[in-house]
Every structure is written in structure tokens, then in C-alpha cells.
Amino acid sequence: MRVSRQQAAANRERVLDTAGELFRRHGLDGVSIADIMKTAGLTHGGFYNQFASKEALAEEACARGVRASVAALYDSAAGPPGASADGGSRQDALRRVLDDYLSVRRRDDPQEGCTVAALAADAGRSSPQMQGVFVSGVTGMAQAMGSVTGDPPADGVSASPDFPALAAMVGAMILSRAVHASDPALSDRILEETSQYLADG
């Protein structure tokens, strides 16, 4: 039975959302098309009506993921809804970013967290096209960090990217996950000390 264009579009969105979550949890090579379609509640045969290949799906899902990761940093810096218009001091904004990004919750639920931290190693072994997706994410996230760690830019000028701060945060999350099952105390320490280091400037 043919599905409507509206249903096909909804199915495509579901596949992208599901794939992004599964890739962040299990890695690009740890998930099959069958896994994605089953988790999405769709038939395996419908996959190729929407995507040319698993690689094409992965690129699109990761592109969505890195855009969400950039937006999440800006959202953390801005503060919760109802906060003052200026969001408090830049130090307050930085603390919100660090508390959110380097949290135990983010460590323990990679499917809900940063695509760059979850899949950076996979991207390093992937195609130039996939690495291009991560160029966009890394640059955007570094610029978001620069908006709270650097000097305020002039009106109409973007903040300078802060790659060292981003690298410290992403690296801390990767290392924290790498040791968590064997040494939870060390895992917590990596997150806590990196957060404090960055907050102290």
C-alpha cells in the first residue's frame, strides 16, 4: 500500500531521528539499516525509498545532530526561559554551558548528547563528506564557546571561535565515557576537574 507524501515525510523524519540516536549510542559501524528501521517501527524495505545508502543517511543524521549540538551550547549560555535578557554575566553563561555539557547525565546518555563527542572518532575514519559535516559542527560549537569565553565582539561581528575550550570539553566527555564502566570515580573526576579548569579560565 502506497503511503501519502505527508506520511512518507513523517517516516523519513522518524528514520533520521532514530538513526541519530542509535549512531550516538553505538557508533556509525555499530548500527545496521535493519536496526534503524526496526527501532523506528518501519519495514526494512522502505529504507531505499528514502535514502540512497546507509552512508547517505549517516551524513544527514549527523548534520542534524551537529546543528543541534551547536544550538544546545547557545541555549545553555542564554539560560532558561524567563531569564533576564542579557542572561547574566559571561561567567554565569560559561558556568551554565559547562554544567550542562560536562554533566553526568550527558555522559550516561550519549544518544541525547553531543554528536561531536559521540562520533568524533568515527568521523576521523569516515569519508571527506562526513568529515565536512563535522567541520561545520566543530566550527559552530567553537564559535558558541567563543561567545562566552572571549571578549564581547563588536555589533554585527561573530565571536572568535574558542577551539581549545571546545577541545577540552569534547575530550573530557570522550575520556569520561571511556573509563566509566571500569572506574566511575575517575570518570566523574575528569568531568569535574575539566569543568573547574575551564571555569577558572
Low-confidence ranges of the chain (pLDDT < 70): 1-3, 81-88, 153-156
**Complete DSSP assignment for 111-166:** GGS-HHHHHHHHHHTS-HHHHHHHHHHHHHHHHHHHHHHSPPPPTT-PPPP-HHHH
Say if residues 37 and 76 touch (Cβ distance below 8 Å).
no
Q: Which amino acid is at 194?
A: T
Q: Which amino acid is at 142?
A: A
pLDDT on residue 83: 53
Q: Which amino acid is at 45?
A: G
Say if residues 20 and 56 touch (Cβ distance below 8 Å).
no
Say if residues 60 and 160 touch (Cβ distance below 8 Å).
no
pLDDT on residue 8: 81
Find the Cα–Cα–Cα–Cα dihedral 150, 151, 157, 158, rounded to 10°: 10
Instruction: Cell numbers for 42, please give them.
Output: 518501519
Cα 67–chain centre separation: 8
Say if residues 88 and 193 touch (Cβ distance below 8 Å).
no
pLDDT on residue 11: 87
Architecture of the structural domain at 54-200? Orthogonal Bundle (1.10)
Instruction: Kindly list the distances between the CA atom of residue 43 and the CA atoms of 1, 8, 48, 146, in Å, as whole numbers in the listed order.
Output: 12, 13, 11, 44
pLDDT on residue 50: 85
pLDDT on residue 47: 87
Say if residues 138 and 166 touch (Cβ distance below 8 Å).
yes
Tell me which DSSP letter residue 83 carries: -
**Which pTM value belongs to this model?**
0.87
